Amino acid sequence: MSTTPNTTRPQERRGAPLLRPTFVRLWCATTASGLATWAMPFILGLAVLHGSLSAVGLGLVLAARTAGFLVAVPLGGLFADRHSRRAVVLWSGLAAAVASPVLAAGLGGSIALMTVAAAVVGVGQGACRPAFQALTAEVVPVEDRQQANAALTFSVRGVTFLAPGLTALLATVTSPQVLLLVTAALWLAAALLPRGGDTAPVERPARAPFHAEFIEGLTEARRHSWFLAGLGALTVVIALGYSATNVLLPLASRDHYGTEAVLAGALTAYTAGALVGALLVARWKPRAQGWWALFGLGLYALAPLSLVFPVGGLWVFAAYAVVGLGVELFNVPWFTAAQREVAPDKLARVSSLDFLFAYGLAPVGLALIAPAAQAFGAQNVLLACAALCVLAPALAALAPGARDFRTPRD
C-alpha cells in the first residue's frame, strides 16, 4: 500500500483543514470552478428564454462541452501525474477562462464559434478535476483528508443549492453575455488561487509514452479490487438511477401531481440532504466505513422507488433527502480512500478513471431511459433501476478490501 509522504509543517498540522491557508485557497478554487461549471448550462438556458440561442444550438453547445470534458479527463490525469498538479490546474483554468468570453461573443451570432469555445471550456473543466483531487492529497495530511473532502463536497452542494436563485436574480439586471463573463472570472480564480502542497513533493519516475503511462494508471487501479468494484457500482447508479430520475422525475411531477413544484422540491431536498451528509461524514469514521459508504450509495434506490406510484409529494421529498445524504456518505470516504491507498505518483490517473467512467457513461443512460420507458413502461424501468441501485453496491461490498476501502497487504 502506498501513501503520500507526510512531512507537513508542525504548525500546519493543528486544527481543521479550513484553518490552513493552502487548503483554503484550494477550497476557494474548487468552489469557483464548481460554480462556473454549474452556471454555464443554466446561463445558456436563460439565453434560450431570451431568444438569443435556439434549443438546437443549446444542445450542440452542451454536447461540445461534454465531449471536451470526456477527452480531457484522462489527459488531465496523465499530465497531473507527469507534471506539477498546480500547473495542470493553472493551465486548465486559464483555458476555460479564455474560452468563456469567446462563448459570450458567439451568443446570438455564431453557433460554430460557441461550439468550439464550449469544447475548450469542457477541456479545462475535465483536465482540472483529477488534478484537484491529487492536489488535495498534497496539501492536506492523511489524518485530515476526510474533513477536507467533506468541506470540498459541501461547497459543491452549497453552490447547487444557492446558485440558481443568485443567477436568476442577476439575470434580471444583466444579460447572459455578462453572466458568461462572470464565469470567466471564476475560472481565472480557480486557475490562480491554488498553491503547492505542504507535504513533500511526489517523486515522479522518468517519463514514458502517454499510452504506457495510461496503462500504468489502469494497472494501479486494478491493484485495488475495492476501487474497481466501487467504481462499477457508482457507474451503474449514475448511469441508471441518476439518469432515470433526471428523465422521469419531471414526468412524474407532471403526471402524478400536476405541478412542477414536486420537481423543484425533490431537487432541493436532494441538495439539502447532501449538505447534511457532508457535515455528518466530516468527522464520522465508523468501523467498516467502506460498507457504510456502499450502503449510502445503495440508498439511491429510494429515488426511483418514490416515483413509481403517486405516494405524495412529501414522501418524494423525504426520499430525495435521504438519497442526497447517502450519496455523501459514499463520496467523502471514497475520495479519501483513493487519496490514501493509491500510489501518489498515479493518483491523478486513477482519479481520472473515476470521473471518466462514473460521469462519462451518464449521457448513455440519459439517452436510453426515455426509449426504455416508452417500450417497457415508466414503472417497470423505475423498478429495474431501483433494483440495480441496490444490487450493484451489494455486489461491490463483496470485493476484497471493500469493508474498509483498504487494499489488502500482500
Q: For 238-252, how does the pLDDT look when each residue is reduced to its tens digit (9 = 90+)?
A: 888 887 777 788 777
pLDDT category at 410 given cuts 50, 70, 90 is: low
The CA distance from 351 to 85, in Å, is: 13
- Predicted TM-score of the model (pTM): 0.83
- Tell me which amino acid residue 254 is: R
Q: For 383-397, how does the pLDDT look when each residue is reduced to its tens digit (9 = 90+)?
A: 999 999 999 999 999
Q: For 69-93, how does the pLDDT look when each residue is reduced to its tens digit (9 = 90+)?
A: 989 998 998 888 888 889 999 999 9
Question: Could you tell me how many helices (H) and strands (E) the chain has, helices first?
Answer: 17, 0
Phi and psi torsions of 400, nearest 5°: -60, 130
pLDDT category at 207 given cuts 50, 70, 90 is: low
Asked if residue 147 is part of any domain, the answer here is no
Percent of the chain with pLDDT over 70: 92
pLDDT category at 210 given cuts 50, 70, 90 is: low
Kindly state whether residues 235 and 128 are assigned to the same domain.
Answer: no
Eight-class DSSP state of 345:
G
Asked if residue 192 is part of any domain, the answer here is yes
Kindly state whether residues 198 and 223 are assigned to the same domain.
Answer: no
Asked if residue 409 is part of any domain, the answer here is no
Asked if residue 406 is part of any domain, the answer here is no
Distances in Å between the Cα of 91 and the Cα atoms of 121, 125, 175, 350 are 12, 11, 28, 21
Kindly state whether residues 227 and 372 are assigned to the same domain.
Answer: yes
The CA distance from 362 to 239, in Å, is: 4
Kindly state whether residues 237 and 365 are assigned to the same domain.
Answer: yes
Q: For 288-329, how does the pLDDT look when each residue is reduced to its tens digit (9 = 90+)?
A: 999 999 999 999 999 999 888 878 889 989 999 999 999 999
Question: Which residues, 6+ apart, have CB-to-CB distance to 386 below 8 Å?
Answer: 241, 301, 302, 303, 304, 305, 308
Kindly state whether residues 97 and 223 are assigned to the same domain.
Answer: no
Beta carbons of 80 and 131 less than 8 angstroms apart: yes
Q: What is the pLDDT of residue 32?
A: 93
pLDDT category at 96 given cuts 50, 70, 90 is: very high
Mean pLDDT of 10-31: 75
Eight-class DSSP state of 402:
T
Nearest to 30 by CA among 104, 109, 85: 85
Q: What is the pLDDT of residue 198?
A: 46
pLDDT category at 204 given cuts 50, 70, 90 is: low
Q: Give the DSSP per-residue string, 277-289.
A: HHHHHTT---TTH
Kindly state whether residues 197 and 225 are assigned to the same domain.
Answer: no
Q: What is the pLDDT of residue 90?
A: 94
* Least confidently predicted of 108-122, 134-148, 190-204: 190-204
User: Of the spans 9-23, 75-89, 114-128, 301-315, which averages the highest pLDDT?
Assistant: 114-128
Q: What is the pLDDT of residue 2?
A: 38
Number of domains in the chain: 2
Nearest to 382 by CA among 257, 252, 256: 252
Answer positive or negative: Cα dihedral of 176, 180, 185, 187: positive
The CA distance from 209 to 13, in Å, is: 38
Kindly state whether residues 187 and 228 are assigned to the same domain.
Answer: no
Kindly state whether residues 118 and 224 are assigned to the same domain.
Answer: no
Q: What is the pLDDT of residue 208?
A: 62
Q: What is the pLDDT of residue 358?
A: 79
Beta carbons of 295 and 327 less than 8 angstroms apart: no
pLDDT category at 205 given cuts 50, 70, 90 is: low
Asked whether residue 209 carries a pLDDT value surpassing 70, the answer given is no
Mean pLDDT of 338-354: 89
Asked whether residue 168 carries a pLDDT value surpassing 80, the answer given is no
CB atoms within 10 A of CB 284: 15
Asked if residue 405 is part of any domain, the answer here is no
Asked whether residue 199 carries a pLDDT value surpassing 70, the answer given is no
Phi and psi torsions of 182, nearest 5°: -65, -40
Question: Which residues, 6+ apart, have CB-to-CB distance to 196 below 8 Å?
Answer: 22, 84, 86, 138, 139
Nearest to 102 by CA among 87, 121, 84: 121
Mean pLDDT of 367-394: 88
The CA distance from 350 to 199, in Å, is: 20
Q: What is the pLDDT of residue 323?
A: 94
Kindly state whether residues 262 and 187 are assigned to the same domain.
Answer: no
Is 157 exposed, middle or buried (CB count within 10 Å of its CB: 0-12, 13-18, 19+)? buried
Mean pLDDT over each residue of the chain, to the nearest integer:
85
Q: What is the pLDDT of residue 404?
A: 92
Grid cell in block for residue 48: 434560450
Eight-class DSSP state of 198:
S
Asked if residue 208 is part of any domain, the answer here is no
Asked whether residue 276 carries a pLDDT value surpassing 80, the answer given is yes
Asked whether residue 9 carries a pLDDT value surpassing 70, the answer given is no
Nearest to 104 by CA among 181, 182, 187: 181
Q: What is the pLDDT of residue 241?
A: 81
pLDDT category at 206 given cuts 50, 70, 90 is: low
Percent of the chain with pLDDT over 90: 42
Kindly state whether residues 17 and 126 are assigned to the same domain.
Answer: yes
Kindly state whether residues 348 and 319 are assigned to the same domain.
Answer: yes
CATH classification of the domain holding 246: 1.20.1250.20
CB atoms within 10 A of CB 270: 25
* Least confidently predicted of 207-216, 320-329, 369-378: 207-216
Q: What is the pLDDT of residue 11?
A: 39
> Reduced to 3 states, what is the DSSP secondary structure of residue 140?
coil
Q: The domain containing residue 117 runs over which residues?
A: 10-142+168-202
